[in-house]
Structure 1
Amino acid sequence: MRIDGFQSEMQAMMMEATGTKTSPTGQQVANDFGDMLSRAINNVNGLQKTSGDLQMRFDRGDEDVSLSDVMIARNKSSVAFEATIQVRNKLVEAYKELMNMPV
Structure 2
Amino acid sequence: MTISSIEGMLQQLRGLAQVAGGGTASQATAAASASGFAGELQRSLQRLNTSQERAYGQAEAFEVGKPGVSLNDVMIDMQKANISFQTAVQVRNRLAAAYQEMMNMPV
Distance 1:85 1:61 in 2: 33
1:45 aligns with 2:49: yes
TM-score, length-normalised on structure 1?
A: 0.70
Q: How many residues align?
A: 77
Task: For structure 1, list consecutive stretches of 5 or more residues without a partner in the other structure.
Answer: 1-27
Specify which of 26, 30, 36 is matched with residue 32 of structure 1: 36
Distance 1:59 1:87 in 2: 33
Q: Return the offset for 1:67.
A: 0.1
**Which structure would you say has the larger Rg?**
1
Distance 1:71 1:63 in 2: 16
1:57 aligns with 2:69: no
- What percent identity do the matched residue pairs reach? 39
Counterpart mapping for 1:68-83 below 5 A: 68-83=72-87
TM-score, length-normalised on structure 2?
A: 0.68
Distance 2:41 2:48 in 1: 11
Distance 1:95 1:71 in 2: 36
The match for 2:93 is: 89
Aligned-residue CA RMSD (Å): 2.1
Aligned-partner SS, 2:36: helix
Task: For structure 2, list consecutive stretches of 5 or more residues without a partner in the other structure.
Answer: 1-31
